[in-house]
Chain A
Amino acid sequence: MDLTSFAGDVGGVNDGAVAIAGLSTRGGVLAGSRVVAAPGGINSIQPDEMIVHCGAGTAVDELNQALAAVGQCVSLPASGTVGGALARGLSDTRRLGYGPIRDALLQAHYVSATGHVVKAGGPTVKNVSGFDLCRLLVGSQGTLGFLGHVILRTRPLASVSQWFSTVADPWVTFATLYRPVSVLWDGSTTWALLEGHASDVAEQAALAGLVLADGAPALPSAHRWSVAPSTLRSLAITGSFVAEIGVGVVHRSDSAQPRKADAAIAALHKRLKYEFDPTLRLNPGVEPLSV
């Protein structure tokens, strides 16, 4: 995919502040900066390589529709663009089974602060050639470079995917099940998403005393806490929540305690930002690290 035009839009260090927008499903456009958008479109789907190559501006839903035709999917949260999902780096509630979103990115071509197209990673599912710049890009919120096109690892779609629920203790449920895709808990009810062969799903559900559920519970969408999974048990909660057991994401209606970054970690972030965007022109005002 050609990024010449996108790189031209981003421009170089003398072209002022610039912000990137996808479909504005994850926070919307930054005020005060020129706004650019990455190209969309699927370049290739290679089911026997378990990879897909697409523009960062491609809608996640469009990508998954196209992949469903070959029995595969990407484990990116639905809605918005591929680039937006990667730049935010937040996984959805299937993280327990599918792994975090950061592991889905194999290769990225991004436009740097100087307007150059830079490649990170490689096109194969296994690759340790050089430093792992892809990990740094996922969750960097467009502060190090703007994703142009990417190669993602795909996974096979399960033949059966079914939500169940129970009033049993969520840790007992979690310990009983073999690799559930998701275990959620709201303080009284436990939900589990099971995938695989229909008979295995039925047997697992019976083993853990699960009953069929209509679907996933509604998530309190206002705030997302990130806590060590070992501390979830002590969620003696005020306000409604849905916790991801075995993961530690808690969807809550009240806001999380502000975090304070360690001084050496803050200094390292500052050095990285300086190296990748010395004039602070990419997504100004966005700061991945709490200060």
Chain B
Amino acid sequence: MTTLTEDLRRAIGTDRVRVGATELSLYRRDASNFTGEASIVCFPTTTAEVQSVIRSCVQHNQPYVARGSGTGLAGGATPLDGAVVISLAKMDRLLSVDAENRQAWIEPGLLNLDLTKAVAHLGLHFAPDPSSQQSCTIGGNVANNSGGPHCLAEGVTAAHIVALEVVLPEGDIVMLGGEDPDPDGLDLRGAFVGSEGMFGIATKICVRLTQNAPTVRTMLFDFDRVEDGAETVSAIIADGMVPAALEMMDQLCTRAVEDYIHAGLPTDAAAILLVEVDGLPHGLHDQVERIIAIAQAHGTRTVRVAQDEAERALLWKGRKTAFGAIARIKPNYYLHDTVVPRRKLPEVLNHVYEIAKRHELLVMNVFHAGDGNLHPLLIFDKREPGIMDRVHAAGEEIVRVSIAVGGVLSGEHGIGLEKRDFMPLMFAVADLEAQAAMRRAFDPTALANPTKVLPSSSSCGDVHHVPEGAWI
């Protein structure tokens, strides 16, 4: 019998199937803190090659993991148990653009920002804009149902995916969804988005493109109390406005960013709030006035409205480079991602500070306040003995607090390995079984990125998690 490596080399060519130790080590992990082990890394360039690779893996009963740029933060693309890594990075073409109907067909390895740049001359963009958009692939966005600051108004990736050509785990090439609005049958497209590589591999993606706004206004407020900033966010939403983005940074984060980019951010404020509204000029003018009034009523110290595109870009640069700025303080960070009801933001932030203090960790908060999407960032030096235990303990407490106030495990990073064993905090046995049923239906082989997302049956068999009123 031939080996899997031989089969793969026959299928897609020797030079695109790599087994060298150095190369394998590059693919052992994604951007999370989890390290696995890959046995083979391969680089298919067509749908047919992806199909051949999957069929070969199935034939050899070998698990495989699809991978884009490896920017995932939850370990979703970390290969376990010597899984085959299937890199889609070489399938990165923009296939076609229908400017009239605002749709485009792309390959999964196309970078998020490259798509937006390619359609900019048409007055269009791809709305999901994760902070990693310069380097993450749209295939990865599909796998994680990625978000970004502008998803408050525009919705997450799922709302922008029209159709998917997918190689299912048994090797069939199918179309999920379609360019037509009501494709036949169940919404398999919707089920596939966010399935973290466990339902098959997307090889072509039809995305919805969004009209660029004719007018944009970006405002910056700063507060003496974090609570005032958070309450401003709730008040804006309750007043019937859905700004394009509502982003918040606490003091430690603001200081780090200001040291890094010198945007003139107020480093003595407890929190700063970046608000962006876009649309037609009259509605926009109205909204800017109402938002400023709300911020003032909640005690903003200053009102800064970006005067030109350069100033707007500078304010956004502060938000988007926050993570880079942190390296100046400590060499390592652990980024969390939970969502809580907006009105619980002040309460949960206080818990986060308390938890970090108790574990003697530095914490910074930079987050999508409009969605209630928290990103507490624990900063540390992993060379310090015993620190990882404290980091993990604090992280778990933050997740538990978020769930306890009616929040969810992840807003945009996904579950992967990181949150897999926390799933029973949010879902009862019957709920998890329904998700496992989806997985079994899509992947009867159980070889597509196994052991991610769903906790092992032992950990989800804990009957204490079943809420009262459930039928068991």
B437 adjacent to A276 (CB under 8 Å): yes
CB under 8 Å from chain A, chain B span 441-472: 441-442, 444, 453-454, 469-472
Given A128-B411, A132-B191, A135-B190, check contact A117 B470 (CB 8 Å).
yes
A124 adjacent to B194 (CB under 8 Å): no
Is A48 engaged at the interface, CB distance under 8 Å to the other chain? yes
A275 adjacent to B438 (CB under 8 Å): yes
Please encode chain A, from 1 to 32, with 1 for each CB lying within 8 Å of some chain B CB and 0 for all others.
01110010000000000000000000000000
Is A218 engaged at the interface, CB distance under 8 Å to the other chain? no
Given A138-B187, A196-B279, check contact A131 B195 (CB 8 Å).
yes
Binds B, one of A55-63, A76-84, A208-216, A243-251: A243-251
Binds B, one of A34-42, A185-193, A234-242, A266-274: A266-274
Distance in angstroms from A45 CB to nearest chain B CB is 11
Pick the contact of B174: A46, A264, A290 (CB < 8 A): A264
Distance in angstroms from B151 CB to nearest chain A CB is 7
Q: Which residues of B contact A268 (CB under 8 A)?
A: 168, 174, 188, 441-442
Is B102 engaged at the interface, CB distance under 8 Å to the other chain? yes
Q: Which residues of A contact B431 (CB under 8 A)?
A: 118-120
Given A128-B412, A156-B240, check contact A91 B181 (CB 8 Å).
yes
Q: Which residues of A contact B242 (CB under 8 A)?
A: 50, 155-156
Given A48-B342, A117-B471, A126-B147, check contact A261 B184 (CB 8 Å).
yes
Given A48-B237, A126-B147, check contact A131 B439 (CB 8 Å).
yes
**Which of B195, B282, B410, B434 has the largest count of A CB atoms less than 10 A from its CB?**
B434
Count of interface residues, chain A, beta-carbon cutoff 8 Å: 86
B339 adjacent to A99 (CB under 8 Å): no
Closest residue to B157 on the A side, CB-wise?
Answer: A128
Q: State the CA gap A198–B372 with chains docked (Å).
A: 31
Distance in angstroms from A241 CB to nearest chain B CB is 15
Q: State the CA gap A179–B432 with chains docked (Å).
A: 39
Q: Which residues of B contact A128 (CB under 8 A)?
A: 144-145, 147, 156, 194, 410-415
Pick the contact of A261: B185, B280, B410 (CB < 8 A): B185
Q: Which residues of B contact A102 (CB under 8 A)?
A: 187, 190
Please encode chain A, from 121 to 134, with 1 for each CB lying within 8 Å of some chain B CB and 0 for all others.
01111111111111
Closest residue to A143 on the B side, CB-wise?
Answer: B186
Is B36 engaged at the interface, CB distance under 8 Å to the other chain? no
Is B321 engaged at the interface, CB distance under 8 Å to the other chain? no
Distance in angstroms from B107 CB to nearest chain A CB is 20
Is B293 engaged at the interface, CB distance under 8 Å to the other chain? no
A132 adjacent to B423 (CB under 8 Å): no
Q: Which residues of B contact A271 (CB under 8 A)?
A: 440-441, 444
Pick the contact of A132: B145, B183, B444, B472 (CB < 8 A): B145
Q: Which residues of A contact B178 (CB under 8 A)?
A: 228
B438 adjacent to A124 (CB under 8 Å): no
A124 adjacent to B430 (CB under 8 Å): no
Count of interface residues, chain B, beta-carbon cutoff 8 Å: 97
Is A89 engaged at the interface, CB distance under 8 Å to the other chain? yes
Q: State the CA gap A285–B441 with chains docked (Å).
A: 21
B144 adjacent to A262 (CB under 8 Å): no
Pick the contact of A119: B151, B195, B280, B428 (CB < 8 A): B428
CB under 8 Å from chain A, chain B span 405-431: 406-415, 419, 423, 426-428, 430-431
CB under 8 Å from chain A, chain B span 148-190: 151-152, 155-156, 158-159, 168, 170, 172-175, 178-190
A157 adjacent to B181 (CB under 8 Å): no
Distance in angstroms from A138 CB to nearest chain B CB is 6
Q: Which residues of B contact A203 (CB under 8 A)?
A: 280, 282
Q: Which residues of B contact A249 (CB under 8 A)?
A: 181-182
Please encode chain A, from 198 to 212, with 1 for each CB lying within 8 Å of some chain B CB and 0 for all others.
111001100000000
Is B371 engaged at the interface, CB distance under 8 Å to the other chain? yes
A116 adjacent to B471 (CB under 8 Å): yes
Q: State the CA gap A49–B179 with chains docked (Å).
A: 32
Is A115 engaged at the interface, CB distance under 8 Å to the other chain? yes
B339 adjacent to A265 (CB under 8 Å): no
Q: Which residues of A contact B264 (CB under 8 A)?
A: none
Closest residue to A171 on the B side, CB-wise?
Answer: B100
Is B235 engaged at the interface, CB distance under 8 Å to the other chain? yes
Q: State the CA gap A87–B471 with chains docked (Å).
A: 23
B191 adjacent to A200 (CB under 8 Å): no
B194 adjacent to A131 (CB under 8 Å): yes
Q: Which residues of B contact A90 (CB under 8 A)?
A: 182
Q: State the CA gap A125–B155 with chains docked (Å).
A: 9
Please encode chain B, from 10 to 42, with 1 for each CB lying within 8 Å of some chain A CB and 0 for all others.
000000000000000000000000000000000
A289 adjacent to B191 (CB under 8 Å): no
CB under 8 Å from chain B, chain A span 107-121: 112, 115-120
B341 adjacent to A230 (CB under 8 Å): no
Given A112-B434, A130-B427, A139-B187, check contact A200 B280 (CB 8 Å).
yes
Q: State the CA gap A43–B166 with chains docked (Å).
A: 40
Q: Which residues of A contact B198 (CB under 8 A)?
A: 131
Is A166 engaged at the interface, CB distance under 8 Å to the other chain? no
Q: State the CA gap A50–B434 with chains docked (Å).
A: 27
Is B238 engaged at the interface, CB distance under 8 Å to the other chain? yes
Q: State the CA gap A224–B181 with chains docked (Å).
A: 11
Is A100 engaged at the interface, CB distance under 8 Å to the other chain? yes
Q: Which residues of B contact A264 (CB under 8 A)?
A: 168, 170, 172-174
What are 8 A-to-B residue pairs whose CB atoms are below 8 Å?
Answer: A49-B341, A49-B372, A103-B155, A124-B371, A132-B195, A264-B174, A275-B441, A289-B184
Top 3 nearest A-B pairs (CB, nearest first) are: A135-B190, A289-B185, A264-B172
